[in-house]
Amino acid sequence: MEIHDTRDVLDVKNATMANSRFDDVNLSNTRFHNANLSAAAFDKVLLSNASVVDANLSNALFRDVNMSNVKIEKAQIAGMTINGISVNDMMQAYEAAQAAGGK
């Protein structure tokens, strides 16, 4: 199926669209609910002001991304690293510094 040069709203439910490609597509204000995006690749995407809730990002890789002002709340961080440094270790060091009065 091909959809080219259209401005219509697409409502897709209970569908398999594995191996699909989206290139130069405006998906702003689109909602993905109960979607399997495992092994998907996102290149040159704009996700500013996006909201990701109740998602499984285990084993995901973020490279060359702008994460300015990103907020991560209530996250499971076991094994998570930033630039090769364990986030769990960073959090423990931060909490130790806070406990020692190093605000």
Identify the residue whose tokens are 């709203």. 9
What's the CATH code of the domain at 86? 2.160.20.80
- Assess if residue 3 is contained within a domain: no
- d(CA 87, CA 93) in angstroms, rounded, equals 10
Q: What is the pTM of this model?
A: 0.77
In the chain, the number of structural domains is 1
- Assess if residue 97 is contained within a domain: yes
Q: Which residue blocks in the chain are alpha helix, DSSP H?
A: 87-99
- d(CA 68, CA 66) in angstroms, rounded, equals 6
pLDDT by residue, tens only, the chain of 103 residues: 888 888 888 899 999 999 999 999 999 999 999 999 999 999 999 999 999 999 999 999 999 999 999 999 999 999 999 999 999 999 999 999 999 986 6
- Assess if residue 79 is contained within a domain: yes
Domain interval for residue 61: 11-101
Q: What is the DSSP-derived secondary structure letter of residue 28?
A: T
- d(CA 91, CA 70) in angstroms, rounded, equals 17
- Assess if residue 81 is contained within a domain: yes
- Assess if residue 5 is contained within a domain: no
Please state the φ and ψ torsions of residue 20, each to the nearest 5 degrees.
-75, 160
